[in-house]
Chains A and B, each alone.
Chain A
Amino acid sequence: MEPVAITLPILIPMLLSLVAWLSRGSAVTSRWLLPAGMAALLGAAVWLFSIINAAPGPIRVDFGGWEKPLGISFKVDLFASIMVVVAAVIGFAGSLFAVSEIGRIIWRKGYGTFFFLLLAGINGAFLTNDLFNLFVWFEVMLMASFAMLVLGRRRFVFEGATKYVVINMISSFFFLSGLGLLYGKTGQLNLDEIALGLGNAGGDPVILSTAAFFFMAFGIKAGVFPLYFWLPPAYSNTGFATAAVFGGLLTKVGVYALFRVFGGAFGFLSEVTGPLFLVVGALTMVTGVLGAASQFHTRRILSFHIVSQIGYIVLGLGLFTQGAFAAAIFYIVHHILVKTNLFLAAGAIAATGRSERLEKLGGLLKGAPLLSFLFLIPALSLGGIPPLSGFFAKFLLLREALREEAYLYAAIALLVGVVTLFSMIKIWGEAFWKETPRPEGIEGYRIMQIVPIAMLGAMTITIGFMVEPLFELSGRAADQLIQSNPLYVETIEE
């Protein structure tokens, strides 16, 4: 049963993307196929997670019966299966929002097809254990995201898309070059085999330059300092459902690849990469949050906060302990749910207040009290207010930083948390609290837009009340991740 469970999260969206393309002319089917397919994907993801959770270790599938050094294999550990479940949740929430947001013409152009293909690419990137296969899944994901981005046809969409496409192509070439060098050196593409083959090749110039290529490639995708400039223009000029799914998932695929490669197979470089990731993480946090503080456009504020939050996660990678990895995995899950929710809330705010600029918004607390309440949940969670998920994510990461005596980084993280809260209060004060500047009053949002926001908000609250079992789970995921580090394998064998 395991091979079926492992391939379903890719097979379902791939097959449904074909169905969506064939049925794109029908107004009802093209719309409702998307959430229905995402619900099926969520079911498959939960099934896969339950199998992996019950298994003693990661499960591997070799496609076509080709054994490990020859064929392409998928390896699913807890981290990967958690990410697949979260991706399916975000896909479901985003598709519900898209049903009410996206116009009929854009559905007819195949919006559903690209949405499904995006999820197939993301799941492939999470599940694969082969570097070239990872490159291919990245490209599947990127092509789908290029198409989704420009289908929105908003005013400046082509500008934002140009920046996004060009920088992501450069990132792909970095990845391909690093991959080629590594293959020339080790003759392997399988991450496990590379880890075993490299052993302790720390000082080798080819390995170091490969690591630099991979850092550039995944760093651009993750949006770390100083490689994040493409992100705010692209995410703030497309459709809201699109931006929510991108904001939740795309940068996190880059972060996931950073963890897989530098936390696993390249773990023997941790003396070089650890301090690098600490500095990069801190700079990402600070520049992201300052960028957000200077903006007065809801989605641009949120886009800069994606950057800032990525910094926290990269900090967890830089600390390089089992506890820090566990905290980072917990943080990723919290961050994906909250960030998507905030982007969807920005969509509902724009539908209600007819603008995304804070100076043109206002009066939403009176006009849309339910939306105000639902916005507060992810906003306060992002700022780290207990008992919401963000508080525990930050607490676990800070505890680990203090344990590792990285006091400076802990202080920066705390300070950035305060400024994050300030940004959220800025949106609250301007959009909800102050009187509306529009004399004709405000219009309502559609109820379908509130459903996914309420769903994700409920999950944020649930995480806040279930920290103990969830942190235990991310601890086990971190164990499995660290065990793919060759140094760890060597010490066990000795």
Chain B
Amino acid sequence: MEVFIAIMVGCLAACGTRLLLQRSLFRVLIGLALIAQAANVLVFTAAGLGKGDTSVIGADAKALPEGHPDPLAQALVLTAIVISFGVLAFCLVLLKRTHRRTADADLDALAQTES
């Protein structure tokens, strides 16, 4: 299962990188979203996956049984998802404004700040 997900993370990151290298600003944004998902899934998987188990400690147990997924990694991913959602929302508004200013969604139009 981990191997399958690792390949998926690689595909997400590769697609995201390809979109980042495009000239359209909106593809760049989608690329960022994909890379954000790749990072989130990576964190989720790196701590190990349990087979169909929840990471809730039972009423009569003191600790998680062996082989259960780590709840902390899931908490980290939850925080990271919220953060990346917020940043992406900001980014969307920013790109819309940039688009309106330059009247063009092409990255080549963003050259005025370079000299």
Instruction: Please state if A237 and B32 are interface contacts (CB–CB under 8 Å).
Output: no
Which residues of A have CB within 8 Å of B64? none
**Chain A: CB-nearest residue to B87:** A169
Cross-chain contact A165 with B94 (CB below 8 angstroms): yes
For B55, what are the chain A residues with a Cβ–Cβ distance below 8 Å? Answer: none
The residue of chain B having its C-beta at the shortest distance from the C-beta of A185 within the complex is B46
Distance to closest chain B CB from A302 (angstroms): 15
Report whether A159 and B90 are in contact in the complex, using a CB–CB cutoff of 8 Å.
Answer: no
Q: Within A115-153, which residues are at the interface with B (CB < 8 Å)?
A: 132, 135-136, 139, 142-143, 146, 150
Residue of A nearest to B77 (CB): A180
Output the nearest chain A residue to B112 by Cβ-Cβ distance: A156
Interface size on B, residues (CB 8 A): 39
**Residue in B43, B91, B102 whose Cβ sees the most chain A Cβ within 10 Å:** B43
**Docked-complex contact B94 and A169, CB < 8 angstroms:** no
What is the bound-complex CA distance between A166 and B95, given in angstroms?
10
Stretch at the interface among A45-53, A96-104, A171-179: A171-179
Residues of A within 8 A of B44 (CB): 180
Against A, the Cβ 8 Å flags (1 = close, 0 = not) of B66-92 are: 000010110010011001101110110
**Complexed CA–CA distance, A183 and B39 (Å):** 13
Q: Are B79 and A237 touching (Cβ within 8 A)?
A: no
Which residues in A have their C-beta under 8 angstroms from that of B46? 180-181, 183-185
Instruction: List B contacts of A150 (CB < 8 A).
Output: 94, 97
A368 to B85, CA, bound (A): 49
Minimum C-beta distance from B40 to chain A (A): 7
Residues of B within 8 A of A161 (CB): 94, 98
Which of A136, A160, A177, A184 contacts B39, CB < 8 Å? A177
User: Is A233 located at the chain interface by the 8 A CB criterion?
Assistant: yes
CB distance from A152 to the nearest CB of B (A): 13
Give the Cβ gap from A441 to chain B, nearest Cβ, in Å: 29
Q: Does A158 contact B (CB under 8 A)?
A: yes
A146 lies within 8 A of B90 (CB):
yes
Contact of B28 among A166, A180, A233 (CB under 8 A): A166
Q: Is B101 interfacial (CB-CB < 8 Å)?
A: yes
B53 located at the interface, meaning its Cβ lies under 8 Å from any Cβ of chain A in the complex: no
Q: How far is the CA of A185 from the CA of B46 in the complex (A)?
A: 8
Q: Are A158 and B101 in contact (CB under 8 A)?
A: yes
- Asked if B76 contacts A169 (CB within 8 A), the reply is no
Q: Are A158 and B43 in contact (CB under 8 A)?
A: no
CA distance A189 to B72 in the complex (A): 10
Q: In the complex the two chains form, is A169's CB within 8 Å of B42's CB?
A: no
Measuring CB to CB, which residues of chain B are less than 8 angstroms from any residue of chain A?
20, 25, 28, 32, 35-36, 38-40, 42-48, 70, 72-73, 76, 79-80, 83-84, 86-88, 90-91, 94-95, 97-98, 101-102, 110, 112-114
Given contacts A176-B39, A187-B70, 16 further A-B contacts (CB under 8 A): A132-B79, A150-B97, A158-B97, A159-B112, A162-B110, A169-B87, A170-B20, A170-B32, A172-B83, A173-B38, A177-B43, A180-B44, A180-B47, A183-B72, A232-B113, A233-B113
